[in-house]
Structure formats: structure tokens, C-alpha cells
Structure 1
Amino acid sequence: MTGPVVVGVDGSPSALSAVDTAAREASLRGVELRVVHAFTWPAMHVPRGGSPLGPPTGGLREMVEDMVGQAVGRASVAAPGVQVSHAVVAGEPLTVLEAQSRTAQLIVVGHRGSGGFLKVLLGSTAVHLSAHGRCPVMVVRGRPDLAGPVVVGVDGSRLGQAAIAFAFAEAALRGADLMALHAWSTWADHGEHRLGEPVDLVDLIGDVDQIRAAEELVLAEALAGHQERCPDVSVRSRLVRGRTRQALIEASGSAQLMVVGARGRGGFTGMLLGSVSQAVLHHSHCPVTVVRPGL
């Protein structure tokens, strides 16, 4: 996909980390980086200019332009060869960034903005943009292992194919290995319930090895075709018996990037962001990219 990498900034430490990451992503792709700030104060009817009692450069507009200018300078240091543009757009952050995502190939945000409460693990803009963005959304958090692999969560669903394709492309750009992780359990969690209780597939099939072999096939079929398109990417398939969210969060501790689909084969129809994706966004030890189907 053509288009710039866009990073949302609000002056928070989290946003500054996002600027560094976004600059590197733009450099990897050889595209422009666009630094965007959603200027909400005009809607609150706050005067933009300085106070009559203060310096002429003390107004809100001047503060915003200074903050954006610092972000642009930081991006230029992080990736000197990248062309950097900036925009200050009046509006609510989610609305502004969703509009920006329509022409971007990747949008990058910090895990918490300047408006978040101290105990909130993830800002509302990051969550909602991951569900509504028109391009992949990278949420910068944790301490990535830059020598580690790109990890992609695989559940075998059609909806997850976009995330797998993105993960292969990202691993190729970074020259990194790719770990394709698929978690499985003998307990059915996709709607097969008996009297309101989960069904243990061992009761139905009677052979754990047969269940494991079926899950290995799910993983292999999900990856089929992607390796041919990215032959230089070294892929390690990992089958884990356990809960998906815990397996992904644990794997993120030694990863440089986690990639997940917005929704997998579980969950409620109509949800834009599944419970596993939300858990990873809240607790991952490295940046997370959420890829919605059709992107």
C-alpha cells in the first residue's frame, strides 16, 4: 500500500516513543512520516492567543506548534533520511486519526496519551483506533527486543489472514525472523457448549494426539502461500497448548513486534476488536500492530 506512516502526538512521553518508532517504520518503508496533532481546544472555546498578562508566545496555538515542532525534530534525529511533514488538525483525536488512516499505510500511536488516568494501562484512543482504523494500527508499548522475532498470532480464521500477510511483510522489512504462534486447548471455546458448560474435546474424540495433529494442520494451512511470497523470511511455527492471550503475552517478552488480527474465530459476531487483541494491547511487552480484515 502507498501512503505515509502517520504518528499521532499529544506531548506525552508515550507519544514521543511512538514518534521514534514511527520514524523507523517510515525509514524501513522508504516513505514520508506525517506527524499529526488533534487540536481539541478550539472546540472547547478556549482562546488560542496568549493572555494579555503573559508573553505573546504563550497561547495555546503556540504551545501546540512548539510541541509538534519538537516531535518533528525528534523524528528527524531518529531517522535522518526520512521526509517529515506535520499537521495540526482541529478535532477529537480518534476522529482526526481515523481520517488520517484512510490515506496512510500505517498509523502509530502511544499506548497512553496525555489525557489518561495513571492507572489506565491503555488509552481509549489507542483501543478505538485499533478497532476503527482504515490501515494497520501500531500501538507502541513495552521494551522491544530488537534482536527478537516478529510474532504473529494465528487462529486459522479467514479474518486472521491479513495479520499474517502483514507480519510476513514486516519481518521482511526488518530482516527479522517470524514466529507464527497458534494456541490450542482440548476445551471447545467456539460455541460448542452442552448445558451451558464448555465441552472437553477429549470426551468427543478421545485422543489428545489427534487433536494436536488437527491444530498443527490449522497452523500449516494458515501459513500456506505466505512463505512463497516472502521466501527470505525465516519462519518458526510454534504450537502452544494453553490460552491464546497468555501465550501471546509471554511470547511478546522476547519479540520486537507483535501482530494480531482485530478479531479471530472466537468472540461475538459484530465485535470490531476481540478479547485476545484487547488483552495483548493492554499487556504486551513490545509494540503491537492490529490488522483488520481487508486492509
Structure 2
Amino acid sequence: MDLMVEASPRRIFANAHTYHINFISVNSDHETYLSADDLRINLWHLEITDRSFNIVDVKPANMEELTEVIIAAEFHPHQCNVFVYSSSKGTIQLCDMSSSFFEEPEDPSSRSFFSEIISSISDVKFSHSGRCMMARDYLSLKVWDLNMENRPVETHQVQEYLRSELCSLYENDCIFDKFECCWNGSDSVVMMGSYNNFFIMFDRNARQDVTLEASRENSKRCASLKSQKVCTGGKRKKDEISVDSLDFNKKILHTVWHPRENIIAVAATNSLYIFQDKIN
């Protein structure tokens, strides 16, 4: 008979959140974890299911005065008293029960109607070493040194070519998409998704990036992926794709990298693709 796989809950932690739970992160002490919704972050003990401790609460007394929501949260990989969360205002709060505040000053000349929306931090991840963290907003990815709060040490433009399309992206609600990001095992490469089933990798040492596509047509077993390029203005080259031809219904929001091997998984709508570094 066919193999049947069924999941059954070991423990149920309930009645602590009023809104959708967006992020869960297990602590390095292997005893606690955090859960985050739009307005609160709660700390749980793995052996206690009927109560939690509220460690962050951004809910105002009057909900009409609400100006920001929590987007992402994660525990530090080594320091059990340190966690980070990002907000829709584009700020990153590093908390070790005393807090650090990470925010890059905005250039007033580039401010527009969409500035606050596209500056929302959709994901934040500590590096495996614990020395850095990266934060993904709509058009860029920034790497921060935990000892330097005033500016990021790296800024990578992810889909800058969409800046001219923000009006239409706002009308079809794509501008509110939340893209995740991830590190490779050695923290030398970062990866994130985009539209048209594209995903982008930045090699931090070589200062190079590559855009690849996850699709059934291009993902035959053992086949190599071809680098993709989007036309950013002027005359389109033969091997480039115009912004107008991008499919915004196809998007990779979730990405993950194997902690030791060069194996990645990307989720494209209702499909999961697993890719491996070329083997001789």
C-alpha cells in the first residue's frame, strides 16, 4: 500500500495571540521560543503550554493611533537573551532586554507616497556567526553589523527596476508582498526571492549577484539553471527580460538554505523547488 505520512501535535500552545501569528523562533537555550503577531511578541517555555510572557507590545491604547505593526522576529543564534524584530516603519529593534535601534536615515529628496510602504522590513535574519543580521525591504536587502547601529555595512538592490512600477504594484496589492531572505552556511552568500519566480543570490566576497528562475520548464533533473537579467532602462539586450513582461502572479516569497550543504529550497506559489550545487 502507499506510504501515508501523518503529523500529530505533541503539544498545543494556545490562547496567547489575538492576531495571526507571523513568526516563530526557537531560542538557543533549547528551552524557550518566541511567537510574534502584528502587535505583540510572546515568550514561551517549551514545557509550559498554558501561559506565556509578553516581551514586546506595540498596541496603542486607541487603535486609531496605530502607526506600525511587527513584521518579523528572530532569536540570536548563540545569545539566548538577544532577539530582533522589524516593523512596517522600516526599523529594526535589537533587544537583549536592553534595546538597540537600527534605522538608516531616509534621503528626503527620494521620499514619495510609497516610501513608507516599501521601507517596511519583511524579514530579518541573524547570520550563523551571530555577528551580523540582514533585513529585507521591498526593493533592497541590507546587512547590518550588530555593533554599528547608524548605517548598514552592505546594501544590495534586489528589484530596483520595479521603482517605476510602484503605482501599478500598489493597485494590485503586490507592493504589500513580504519576501523572506536567508544566509548560506558560511554567511558568504545571501538569497531572496522576487517576481516571475526569480530568486537572487549575492556573493558577499566576490561582490557579484546572480538571478535564477524556478520553473517547471527550466528545472529538469540535473539541468543547469541559466542566469536571468531584467532590463533596467534603455534598449533591451537579447538576453534580457523587460519589466513589462514580468509575471507578478508568480513570486517566490519563501527561501531556505541548507545549514551545511549548497542545497536550497524555494517556494513558488504552490510549488516547492529544491536545487543543489553542480556535482562533477
Under a length normalisation based on structure 2, what TM-score does the superposition of the two structures give?
Answer: 0.24
Instruction: Tell me which protein shows more helix as a share of its residues.
Output: 1
Higher strand share: 2
- Asked which structure has the greater CA Rg, the reply is 1
TM-score normalized by the length of structure 1: 0.23
